[in-house]
Structure 1
């Protein structure tokens, strides 16, 4: 399968990026076949130095930077600044996660660039957006989790953060989808686009359901830990062998199936205490005791078999080692070897599975590691 079969073959993306939000978006674009030029400060993206756990590489950096070309540029140096602007001139898409004021100060904000290059798609990712009272405030993932209300719905009695970079990822995903939509529109109209993605707005959108429930309902719901706040039974249970599983019931019919398949008591399916979801929520402690008592005498394997036979959603509660060895991910072939400056590592692929296209081999670039021919081709595009 040729490289030209990649969905974004021929698309050039230049990105002034660091940390996670913009690198995560451009990693997906690179995986889809775009040529991504990662612009780094001379000392490198600081995510390179978060840790050295992946055979000498940072876990964060290898995750978010597969398949890119690295170019080290000092934006305080006039020659380097001219190089950046020439690369942008040869690009289809320019992305950055600088503050709005910093982008304007460097002359690489959307208004300035699109006045000169009307077909260019410019995507700016920031903490709070290009205007408003917080527009130039520094923003990192946990700060946005706090601002967007994620802490207030996560954990048990004590609030907790989400255990991964959910604010960065949400912004990166909206940047990705916005860029893809802008590319489709440009094919139709010939016009570029100015895109602004706010981490706060992205994560607040992901929290819309609890936000609406709190606003239009009875106020802030209590944190429910590993139990669903609005559906029952939907939570974790321990088995006789010490394993933990999650059981999820979405309808009254599924509850009746659970009563028969797992509890071996079909009359519970029509018990007035548990007849509807509202009833089950009102009696959730009693309900979970019934389920826990049944599960305490059987193994995880037997419970999984019973629940699967009854078409009830059930999942093992895996640690990260369990995910790394997950048979479904392995059978589906979602791992591949990637080259890094410290040697080959095995990484998990993004979940794109598009017919007629096979991912080419790729690498994680060292600082300023790039193919000179690729940069030369972009320069020629700029001249034309």
Structure 2
């Protein structure tokens, strides 16, 4: 971890499930020393199927490169352990409901008073204030309230649940962004601060353009209504994504398809639009997907195959963004650090930690003695 862009940054991770662990893993990928504090039972993602070897693929995909300590922070001694750890940290990220950690003396006011340079980031469903601050939720709820589900429907009008957790993953990105912005501000001011990230705001951030275009719903041009920006089925059941938004790409596509007469219909409306889409649909349905890919690739027309997940790893462009990460004695095909640096590249992939693997190491570095650790274990504070 010593050579990354965030080498030397110390992060205390009090999150679980998806968004928080994703955020702190990105920091770990770039060299930060991330200490993941887990309850005695561990992060619930450790139990999620499917498994790779004896470990959860989800946990491995979200927690590589971290150190794990097990502390029961519901106890007074456990809260004191976390407080001691926070004194030596640059960043703390937590995902409890508002007020939970404050009742244990671990809220932002208490910890910022004890460590004024700390960047304390809270990641919650609905933020630190407002009518929903104490409300429970999961990704599907935030996607629903943010308009994402209502704007993505199947041909029968039913909302389509996305394969990935859109609010969770976006909130993870925004958490990492917020943390780094607060660290930059600390360079100027010398002080840390409280950063507030909500999953609902993350879902709404994804809907910035549709909300800006029309208060009554998304505009037509990027929803598949126009022939230049939609998905067409092929003879073998595969599909092609056509993204020929600019006139030059649309005109090239029409020429490549032998349909130059359609060049003026890129933004057609009414019956002309329906007829143009129908003509292209019939044409694409006449050949297999990969035949079309081979034929259109040299034409530079913004057309790509719609890949199933098991095809992604074999695609020459997508495969370069993946990596094999160690999971016990097995290997997990996962996404490599997505941002690349010329001088401070991300480190090679590290495995996710075993539950409590680094408890003694981390607490020893924070000043706890062997006798302290033995006492805390006897009392059930450490596992």
TM-score by length of 2: 0.88
Superposed counterparts of 1:1-384, under 5 Å: 3-156=1-154, 157-215=157-215, 219-221=216-218, 228-229=223-224, 231-262=226-257, 264-270=258-264, 274=265, 276-277=266-267, 279=268, 283-330=272-319, 332=320, 334-340=322-328, 343-356=330-343, 357-370=345-358, 372-379=360-367
Structure 1 position 165, deviation (Å) = 0.9
- 8 Å contact 1:232–1:280 — kept in the other structure? no
How far apart are the structure 1 equivalents of 2:54 and 2:219? Answer: 42
Give the Cα separation in 2 of the matches to 1:267 and 1:52. Answer: 51
For residue 64 of structure 2, give the secondary structure of its aligned residue in structure 1.
coil
Secondary structure of 1:6's match?
coil
Q: Distance in 1 between matches of 2:225 and 2:213?
A: 10
For 1:346 and 1:265, locate their aligned partners in 2 and report how far apart those are by CA, in whole Å.
42
The verdict on how the C-alpha distance between 1:280 and 1:254 changes in structure 2, with shifts beyond 3 A counting, is farther
C-alpha RMSD of matched pairs (Å) = 2.3
CA displacement at 1:327 relative to structure 2: 2.4
Instruction: Work out whether residues 64 and 349 of structure 2, in 8 Å CA contact, stay in contact via their aligned partners in 1.
Output: no
Cα deviations by residue, 1:159-191 (Å, 9 ceiling, x for unpaired)? 122221111111111110011111122223221
Higher relative contact order (CA 8 A, sep 6+): 2
| Cα deviation digits, residues 344-382 of structure 1 (max 9, x gap) | 4343312121113251341111111117445433449xx
Residues 309, 324 of structure 1: CA spacing in aligned structure 2 closer, same or farther, 3 A cutoff?
Answer: closer
SS in 2 for 1:151: coil
- Gap regions ≥5 residues in structure 1: none
Q: Secondary structure at the match of 2:34?
A: strand
Does the aligned pair in 1 maintain the 2:29–2:346 contact within 8 Å? Answer: no
Secondary structure in structure 2 of the residue aligned to 1:13? strand
Aligned counterparts of 2:311 and 2:3: Cα–Cα separation in 1: 34
How many residues get paired?
A: 365
Taking a change above 3 Å as real, the CA distance of residues 28 and 282 of structure 1, as seen in their structure-2 partners, is: farther
Cα distance in structure 2, aligned partners of 1:13 and 1:302: 50
Per-residue CA deviations over 1:255-299 (Å, capped at 9, x if unaligned) read 21111012x1323213xxx1x52x257633211211122223333
1:229 Cα deviation from its structure 2 partner = 4.5
Q: How many Å separate the matches in 1 of 2:167 and 2:113?
A: 31
1:40–1:72 CA contact under 8 A, matched in 2: yes
Structure 1 length as normaliser, TM-score?
A: 0.88
Any conservation in 2 of the 1:233–1:284 contact (CA below 8 Å)?
no
> What is the DSSP-based 3-state SS (H/G/I as helix, E as strand, rest coil) of the residue aligned with 2:140?
helix
Cα deviations across residues 327-358 of structure 1 (Å, max 9, x unaligned)?
Answer: 2243x363133243x64434331212111325
